[in-house]
Amino acid sequence: MILKMRVLSGLLLLTLLSACSGAYKNTTVSLSYEDRQAEAQLIDKQVIQSENTLGIQLLQEFIKSDKTKNVIISPYSISTALSLAYNGASSDTATQMAKALGWGGTTLEKLNRANEQQRKLLEHSDEGVELSIANSIWYQEGIEIRPSFLNTGENSYKAEINAEDNLSSSRTLDNINDWVKKNTQDKITSILSEPLSIDTLSILINAIYFKGTWEHPFSEDFTEARPFTMGDGSIQNVQMMQQTHDFPYEETADWQAIHLPYGDGRMSMLIILPRKQSTIDTFVQQLAKDSSPLHKSFESKHVHISLPRFTADYAKTLNQALQTLGMSDAFDPRKADFSQMSTEPLYISEVLHKTFLEVNEKGTEAAAVTAVLVPAAGTPSPPIDMTIDRPFFFAIEDTQTKVWLFLGTITEP
């Protein structure tokens, strides 16, 4: 009873992500490759590294309970939403968040500046990629939200500010779900299934929508049903796309790795296939210890790749995983300190993350033309074969900033 009385308010933190590959017209004015590369060098590398590390740590936690499921998360999306919340934290709550999320060696000012720079670069990629990022702050009208917090949200995160006269109403539920639907291009149609609790006084939401066309598209003529070994060991036929081309490629005794570029190559899908004697769990454990081999430049190799065509989604509450990483006070109404956000005693009640991802053969005409290019000199040696017919790791990476927008493990394409 005493604990219940002290739960005066709650902070519900939501992160949303949507992605789909296919043909489209990009209306965003893109920076040149050289200008974007110069801007990318100015971003605090520790912030990017901390985002990617957080993604690996969370993935490692989730596959413990979801071994036979597709696990898809966005390190960038999660980190961005938590960065916004971090601006409202103080005392031990802020210290724990900084340590758990890898921000101990940077200042709040540098973190906000890095988030602002990343957003600008990600939304100005190239003609083969559409990427939009949206943030919003929703709060109960009548409670005091510090102007400094709202100013940071608007200036560094371009957050939409919404003061609701009744945050727990059905109307607010519809407004939030409509915002989600709009900012994920209808790929995620809702995040809340029922009105919020009257204890919830503020909500922070981050949404990302990504759409990329392969630089070298797959021809649907070569897609065929082929066996895939699922995460539970069963074998099922899946629609397998195929092509042979020159791609950035690397291999070790433990895995094969390939970059499949989007557009002009500023973004790509990194795919890691563990060797048959290994497992996806073993690979993720190795990745958690040292991910540096994946950030090195790969050599261009002539590769025949077979990749499943798939659509997948994932939803997860991140509370337990974040507390395991050391971020405990933020979730405890008796200890949480978000006094930099409001004079009200706020805490985080839930961190929800929902994703959607589709991978298929589609691409623009320009990308299709690029796909027919082949080496012009001499007789090529037999291509390296990379048949992705068992669970694999993937990451969608901005090749200039090294940000991992998506990462995950696919066990059921």
Condensed to tens digits (0 to 9), the pLDDT of residues 53-91 reads 999 999 999 988 887 788 988 888 889 989 999 999 999
Between CA 286 and CA 294 the distance in angstroms is: 11
Distances (CA, A) of 159 to 84, 134, 173, 286, 379: 9, 7, 19, 37, 55
Q: What pLDDT is stored for residue 4 in this prediction? A: 25
Q: What is the band of 10 on the pLDDT scale with cuts at 50, 70, 90?
A: low
Give the pLDDT confidence of 351-408 residue by residue, as tens digits. 888 888 888 874 222 111 111 112 222 344 577 888 888 899 999 888 888 888 888 8
Q: Among 117-131, 163-177, 366-380, which range has the highest average pLDDT?
A: 163-177
Exposure of 200 in the CB half-sphere (CA atoms within 13 A): 24
Q: What pLDDT is stored for residue 20 in this prediction? A: 62
Whether the per-residue pLDDT at 228 is higher than 90: the answer is yes
* CB-based contact 160:137 (threshold 8 Å): yes
Residue in 91, 82, 145, 70 with CA at minimum distance from that of residue 115: 82
Between CA 285 and CA 331 the distance in angstroms is: 27
- Positions of CATH 2.30.39.10 in the chain: 220-308+364-410
Q: What pLDDT is stored for residue 30 in this prediction? A: 60
Q: Among 39-53, 145-159, 183-197, 290-304, which range has the highest average pLDDT?
A: 145-159
| Stated length of the chain | 413
* CB-based contact 318:58 (threshold 8 Å): yes
Q: Which CATH class name applies to 220-308+364-410?
A: mainly beta
Q: Which has the minimum average pLDDT: 26-30, 91-95, 340-344, 392-396?
A: 26-30
Question: Which H or E run contains 175?
Answer: helix 170-183
Q: Which residue has the higher pLDDT, 4 or 378?
A: 378
DSSP conformational letter for 29? P
Question: Does residue 120 sit in helix, strand or coil?
Answer: helix
Residue whose pair of structure tokens reads 């790969």 in the numeric block: 298
Residue whose pair of structure tokens reads 């069963």 in the numeric block: 234
Question: Does residue 312 sit in helix, strand or coil?
Answer: strand
* CB-based contact 355:17 (threshold 8 Å): yes
Give the pLDDT confidence of 174-215 residue by residue, as tens digits. 998 899 888 888 888 887 888 888 888 888 888 888 888 888
Between CA 403 and CA 38 the distance in angstroms is: 15
Q: What pLDDT is stored for residue 371 in this prediction? A: 16
Q: Which CATH class name applies to 6-212+312-358?
A: alpha beta
Exposure of 256 in the CB half-sphere (CA atoms within 13 A): 20
Q: What is the pTM of this model?
A: 0.88
Question: Which H or E run contains 92?
Answer: helix 91-101
- Positions of CATH 3.30.497.10 in the chain: 6-212+312-358
